[in-house]
Structure 1
Amino acid sequence: MVSKSDPIIIVGGGAFGLSTALHLAQKGYTNVSVYDKDDHIPPAAISAWKTPLFAPYFHQTGFLHCVSGEAPEKAVGTLNRFRASAERNSQIKPHVVPIQHSEDARQACWQLDGPMAGWHGYLNRFDGYAHSGAALAGVYRAAQAAGVRFFLGERNGAVEEIVYVSKLEGKKAAGIRTKNGRFHPSSLVIVAAGAGVGRLVPQLGQTVVAKSWSVAHVHLSDEETSALRGIPVTYARDLGFFFEPDPKTNLLKMCPMGGGYINTDPKTGVSHAPESLKESAFLPQEDETQLRKLLAQTLPSLADRPFVQKSLCWFADTSDSDFIIDYIPGMSDSIIVMSGDSGHGFKMFPIVGSWVTDMLEAPGAQQPVARWRWKQPPSQGKKGDWGGDVSWRVGETKELAAILPPKASKL
């Protein structure tokens, strides 16, 4: 069992890693270090979002959750399940407003002046969005103030490998080796490396896959940004979503829905995020078409605007969208994997780290939540299929190599 003074290393300074670092420090663990290859942070539970630390980054604008008139049955079924879940919750139910046609949607958000033909669903006024970059930076500062040490950048923070030692009953993680060749000892290694987890923990096999979805922005004028202030998160389940623009940058962020993109190693069948960010700095044509359709339906004056800051955003995905937060079997409780955010984990940012401290203090060194326990990977050689069986996603997963723009090549 790890003591409060034992050295603990967290690999990854994203939402899972930062939340864990903060919760460990708040629980009295005094020797916590975070390693991340980026040279700054950020490098991406509603009551917890309303606490003093997180409240500045949470905006309770509401969630307009609909499908368009052309939505496939799968999208409609998912919408109905989400609505039923919200209405079963006594705290949320009073805030749920039915949207039966486009005029209801315009009543919920007068700025939406597009046709929205056949749109229906509901508005959840209890919901909203969080500013991820600002929240990560705020928790980074809070963790530093609580005594957590950070090692950032390619030279000091990039982790090359986890170092193991042999024991009679198996192996044990002894620490990490960074790319500068230095060994850093630790009693416990927590791997929260996002889409890069598979490279550091090959034992995961195809249990976790690096998958990406597109992100793009429209640059607005000051007046346009002001006019869209306070709009609800607007989500057509079969098209995509957007939310109020950032007043500091005048950027309206948009994301299309789909099965996502993977980057499969043909030798292992495991998908890894590309080594170079440059390879992901584009918007696939089919996603651009989908986003323009979303704008034409909702904010038609923006439908032909150029997209800026286009990229694929990589996540660690699982076939069932459940997290994996558990010890690796046979490693003497010396290494924990935090993975499987599946593109929807950030909403748990304020509390996800508490799940690790709960597990450290749980009897029998076992993850108390069964669905988050270690899962044996599928047999080697069989290519994974992630996305098609996940009910809340519409569309099939595609390979990165198949959608790369001309003159780009897979690394």
Structure 2
Amino acid sequence: MGVSKTDQIIIVGGGAFGLSTALQLVQKGYSNVAVYEKDDHIPPRFSAANDLNKIVRAEYEDQFYTDLTIRAIKAWKTPLFAPYFHQVGFLHCVSGAAPQQATDTLNRFRASAERDAQIKPHVVPLDNIEDVRQACWQLDGPLSGWNGYFNRFDGYAHSGAALAGVYRAAQAAGVRFLLGEKNGAVDELVYVSTATGKKCAGIRTRNGRFHPASLVIVAAGAAVGRLVPQLGQTVVAKSWSVAHVRLTDEETSALRGIPVTYARDLGFFFEPDPKTNLLKMCPMGGGYINTDTKTGVSHSPSTLKESAFLPEEDEKQLRQLLRQTLPSLADRPFVEKSLCWFADTNDSDFIVDYIPNMSDSVIVMSGDSGHAFKMFPIAGTFLTDMLEAPGSQQPIARWRWKQSPSNDGKGDWGGDVSWRLGSSKELSSISPTKAKL
């Protein structure tokens, strides 16, 4: 059916997908765009992108995503996004104790970088400890058995700050934002029957008000399953943990400009943030899910408090990473600890498509799968390209609506994705408080 440039478009969610889409729509001439976000500020605290930083690395085992990230990095260097992008490089290694799966994954990523003509000139092999220290002299730990490669093409982005910057730009361009539990929290999508079938007529917010729209775009992150139960187990909520070490001004200065340092079998960290003196760290692992036993679908917890902790196993892993790299910080207390919830698909592909049999009235934009933020400057084009495609059909087959798989709420969701190590665990098995579905 299509949507006109003056039709009311509602976006549910003010995270990375929602903001990028809002900005792209107004830049394409759509003049009636509104974003509804349940938090009272942006970046929203429930968004996976409400974070100090995210890795921006171009090498994927899949050339499709490599090409997409190369395009995104070009966009990161444009005036709006450049303040948030730091091309410090990506030091990608395994330790001497790494399992074979970690080494194999690293080698596939390295092969991807070396076969791409744009990336290859930036790749340096790291065959021993001396090579690693040459790439990052600040790493003064034992680095036992470390080897891998250094890719100067990569870096990281200040994610929370980038969200705030795009929020300001979109608002200035005419996007309306309705924030907070009273006006911005969406309780449900409202469907009506028409002569041609069922369609989404708009949304109902928590205050009971109905807001009509010609097109509703659901970009609700890990909460998407509650608003769009038709997804079934196509998209589920998953999390990895995040922790920080607070440094002194001098320690922050000493680590300024270090590359993203990633031990495939342990975890990774970034250069410390100069405003807060926080050094962000993330462990590697299979992540955590919060499965509803009735539906087999994992949902993010309903409150932030339930995710405000660091699992014991992850803390041990991060301390081992520090002992290997920055031993003077190995016993420093971890602060601002949390689980970061995202929308996961079984194959790590995004989903950007209409809900079937709804008269092209509602689109799901989801499935970031823990690797989408690097696409933030171009993510909105995934949707506008679809709107402008023949018949408004998603031109990228892998991002189309999929039949929901079924694992009966059991097994390792997303465990077949090659770059993930370990198996998923239920939040209830490691949580100091019982999560609420």
Q: Is the 8 A contact 1:69 1:118 kept in 2?
A: yes
Q: Residues of 2 paired with 1:246 and 1:50: CA distance?
A: 20
Question: What are the residue-to-residue correspondences of 1:157-306 with 2, within 5 Å?
Answer: 157-306=184-333
- What is the match of residue 7 of structure 1? 8
Q: Residues of 1 paired with 2:414 and 2:101: CA distance?
A: 13
Q: Is the 8 A contact 2:95 2:265 kept in 1?
A: yes
- Which ranges of structure 2 fall in alignment gaps of 5 or more residues? 50-71
Q: Is the 8 A contact 2:292 2:409 kept in 1?
A: no
Q: Is the 8 A contact 1:62 1:124 kept in 2?
A: yes
Partner-residue secondary structure (3-state), 1:313 = strand
1:381 positional shift? 4.0
After TM superposition, what 4+ stretches of structure 1 lie above 6 angstroms from structure 2?
none
Aligned length: 409
Q: Residues of 2 paired with 1:358 and 1:344: CA distance?
A: 21
Q: Residues of 2 paired with 1:74 and 1:31: CA distance?
A: 49
Q: Is the 8 A contact 1:319 1:385 kept in 2?
A: no
1:313 positional shift? 0.6
Percent pairwise identity: 82
Q: Pick from 116, 126, 136: which aligns with 1:89?
A: 116
CA change 1:383–1:332 in 2 (3 A) is farther
Could you tell me which amino acid in structure 2 is paired with residue 149 of structure 1?
A: R
1:160 positional shift? 0.2
Query: 1:409 and 2:434 equivalent?
Result: yes
Q: Residues of 1 paired with 2:282 and 2:423: CA distance?
A: 16
1:382 positional shift? 5.1
Q: Is the 8 A contact 2:412 2:423 kept in 1?
A: no
Q: Residues of 2 paired with 1:179 and 1:56: CA distance?
A: 36
Q: Is the 8 A contact 1:206 1:384 kept in 2?
A: no
- What is the match of residue 30 of structure 1? 31
1:380 positional shift? 7.8
1:266 positional shift? 0.7
Partner-residue secondary structure (3-state), 1:166 = strand
- What is the match of residue 71 of structure 1? 98
Could you tell me which amino acid in structure 2 is paired with residue 41 of structure 1?
A: I
**305-314 or 68-77, larger mean C-alpha shift:** 68-77
Question: What are the residue-to-residue correspondences of 1:114-129 with 2, within 5 Å?
Answer: 114-129=141-156
Q: Is the 8 A contact 1:169 1:330 kept in 2?
A: no
Q: Is the 8 A contact 1:33 1:148 kept in 2?
A: yes
Query: 1:385 and 2:412 equivalent?
Result: yes
Q: Is the 8 A contact 1:268 1:380 kept in 2?
A: no
Q: Residues of 2 paired with 1:76 and 1:325: CA distance?
A: 33
Q: Residues of 1 paired with 2:196 and 2:231: CA distance?
A: 20
1:189 positional shift? 0.3
Q: Residues of 1 paired with 2:414 and 2:279: CA distance?
A: 27
TM-score (norm 2): 0.92
1:75 positional shift? 1.1
Q: Residues of 2 paired with 1:348 and 1:10: CA distance?
A: 18
Cα RMSD (Å): 1.0
Partner-residue secondary structure (3-state), 1:402 = helix
Q: Pick from 130, 134, 138: which aligns with 1:103?
A: 130
Q: Is the 8 A contact 1:210 1:273 kept in 2?
A: yes
1:12 positional shift? 0.3
- Which ranges of structure 1 fall in alignment gaps of 5 or more residues? none
Could you tell me which amino acid in structure 1 is paired with residue 10 of structure 2?
A: I
- What is the match of residue 340 of structure 2? 313
- What is the match of residue 376 of structure 2? 349
Q: After superposition, what is the alpha-carbon deviation per residue over 1:287-328, rounded to whole angstroms, capped at 9, x for unaligned? A: 000000000000000000000000001000011111001111
Q: Residues of 2 paired with 1:387 and 1:294: CA distance?
A: 25
- What is the match of residue 21 of structure 1? 22
CA change 1:382–1:113 in 2 (3 A) is closer
Q: Residues of 2 paired with 1:316 and 1:336: CA distance?
A: 15
CA change 1:91–1:267 in 2 (3 A) is same
Q: After superposition, what is the alpha-carbon deviation per residue over 1:348-373, rounded to whole angstroms, capped at 9, x for unaligned? A: 00001011000001002211001111
Q: Residues of 2 paired with 1:327 and 1:385: CA distance?
A: 28
- What is the match of residue 175 of structure 2? 148
CA change 1:380–1:261 in 2 (3 A) is closer
Query: 1:326 and 2:366 equivalent?
Result: no
1:387 positional shift? 3.1
Q: Residues of 2 paired with 1:384 and 1:369: CA distance?
A: 29
Could you tell me which amino acid in structure 1 is paired with residue 95 of structure 2?
A: S
- What is the match of residue 76 of structure 2? 49
Q: Residues of 2 paired with 1:6 and 1:380: CA distance?
A: 40
Partner-residue secondary structure (3-state), 1:171 = strand
TM-score (norm 1): 0.98
Partner-residue secondary structure (3-state), 1:355 = helix
Partner-residue secondary structure (3-state), 1:18 = helix
1:2 positional shift? 0.1
Q: After superposition, what is the alpha-carbon deviation per residue over 1:241-293, rounded to whole angstroms, capped at 9, x for unaligned? A: 00100000000000001110000001111000000110000000000000000
